[in-house]
Structure 1
């Protein structure tokens, strides 16, 4: 398939025009025009780029790409090495940040909910259909300890659990990655527990004082599954070879 047509297809499918993001969504680095082999991963780090180069891939599709708001604009050091590796091999780089978090079918939040058995999903901020935070429920109430075990089993990573005091969890809110500050909105709505990827010092006090269980399950671990699902969707839509590569990241 053509690299520009692929960008247009992904842009439309993920509705990138709906978002004000911290980075450009879509084709970030242009490479060869014809794409047959795609490597997907969470972040466009050097290790993932090296795999793509070794595999003679035509494109990389990630959640975390380049050119973040507020970062230095100079292309030097680590950024230079990454971009040079892509340009030398004419590898296209596609990145989708918030649009991939929010997508109702294949997004990071949707995939995490599917894996954990969360149903009746809706925006955590009811006034914003594009709210990154989500809320839902479990079919049956679960104990805080059992939820921690379920998260560890699904993500292969032990979560940090801050006890909010409630003995059972029925309602649940979540936001993958660095969405820990959505805990305030969840607590104000009386939701039993909140899951995110990261934790801040203040999050611990909020959970304890507002009576909501909090689970930090890992930024990388909670955001593996959206880009993987998107790649599988692409493989089904087009005649192309798509491989997900999980570069280990304990954070």
Structure 2
């Protein structure tokens, strides 16, 4: 058994969260009961996930998308009020880890997705410590269609593939792959500038298609939720193994 503050310290240390600047607080966001035995993990601290945690008599919820984002209204009312009320009334702790859970080299969303599709030797795409996007290599070059099949099967999604190039760029096999799960489509230009063959993220914007076509880089949009399921799931499995906790991942599906 751990206390909530002990659990926070363990997670902070494992994810190196104090060294990463973020858009929301990482760690214990809503304090509940002191003793932690049962943990529910999930992508987003939505009301359905909280209700599942209540039904399972969980002591804590651990998510990738928590609360108190820099740009959000600070008032606790409406949807946000209902969520937080259910946590407080039921004495449930909420732990949230955003960027630390994206970029962790072992348990992070990028690393977990890379592992699923066979991308190895991950390195930071940005020239700085704690790069958010990463890139790596496939063991052998494959077609864009084969990589799409791997993604679709791994994520249980029909991903969007941008593979119609314009100008001087020919169709080619894929050896190097850049990854930034979730809303990471803006990094496609950096990946193209570094000569990466393909770039994968969760979301797609109108301009992303033009960037892919005009810079000769394959682009795969696989869903924000779908690409970020596996970091928090892996983190929960690590906690269960290392600290003998009862941890259960619950996927509240989201088509986005």
Once the two structures are superposed, the pairs formed by residues 1-251 of structure 1 within 5 Å of their partners are: 1-125=2-126, 127-163=127-163, 164=165, 165-251=170-256
Q: Distance in 1 between matches of 2:116 and 2:243?
A: 26
Q: Deviation per CA, 1:18-57, whole angstroms, max 9, x where unpaired?
A: 1110000000000000010000000000010000011110
* Gaps in structure 2 of 5+ consecutive residues: none
Task: Extract structure 1 runs of 4+ deviating beyond 4 A.
Answer: none
Q: What secondary structure does 1:198 align onto?
A: coil
**1:96-139, Cα deviation, whole Å (9 max, x unpaired):** 000000100100001000001001210011x2120010011100
Q: Report SS of the residue matched to 1:215.
A: strand
SS at the partner of 1:208?
A: helix
Q: Per the alignment, in what secondary structure is the counterpart of residue 149 of structure 1? A: helix
Contact 1:61 1:94 in 2 (8 A): yes
Q: Deviations over 1:134-186 (max 9, x none)?
A: 01110011101111111001100010010145321011101000000110100
| Secondary structure of 2:94 counterpart | strand
* Whole-Å separation in 2 of the counterparts to 1:93 and 1:128: 31
Distance 1:171 1:13 in 2: 28
TM-score, normalised by the number of residues in structure 1: 0.98
Distance in 2 (CA, whole Å) between partners of 1:31 and 1:234 is 19
Question: Per-residue CA shift, 1:199-222, capped at 9, x if unaligned?
Answer: 010101000000100000000000
- Superposition TM-score, scaled by structure 2 size: 0.96
Number of aligned pairs?
250
Deviation at 1:238, TM superposition (A): 1.0
Question: 1:190: how far off?
Answer: 1.0
How far apart in 2 are the matches of 1:166 and 1:40? 41
